[in-house]
Amino acid sequence: METQYAQEMLDALTRTANAREYAAHMALISKDVSVYGVPGFEVIGYDDWARQCRFEFDEGILKQVSYAGLRLVTVTSDHVLFKTTETVEGTDGTVNRHGLEILIRKEVDGKWRVLQERILSDEEMNFDSHKAH
């Protein structure tokens, strides 16, 4: 069941980003969100995420977002922590691929939202892939 919540979140993030549905995409993000591991930033919050999304969607910079692989790390009744690989393709031909650790939370309105994201180092992702075998 917990895998379902994580997979549904990845599917919704993909669908809303690729369709450039700003309001629907931001509805998947907790107002308390924290993003770690972005070069040049200690932490990114909701307002920063919203501003970046609005810019990328409006300017047509984002070609496609996709996720590959899903591995549960920790599960409680109202939190699911998992790892995945995110690929972001720009309309300029750039491709950024990195491992992500994502924490989703069931909020007071009953909806699951992204509470935290952490960009993983290559070492962390390689360790996980070797550990899984």
Architecture label for domain 2-132: Roll (3.10)
CA 32 to chain centre: 14
Distance CA 46, CA 42 (A): 14
Structure tokens at 61: 């910079």
69-76 long-range contacts, CB within 8 A, separation 24+: 70/3, 70/6, 70/7, 70/10, 71/128, 71/132, 72/2, 72/3, 72/6, 73/101, 75/2
pTM greater than 0.75: yes
Structure tokens at 58: 């409006």
| pLDDT tens-digit map of 87-130 | 999 999 999 999 999 999 999 999 999 999 999 988 877 655 54
Ordered by start, the domain boundaries in the chain are 2-132
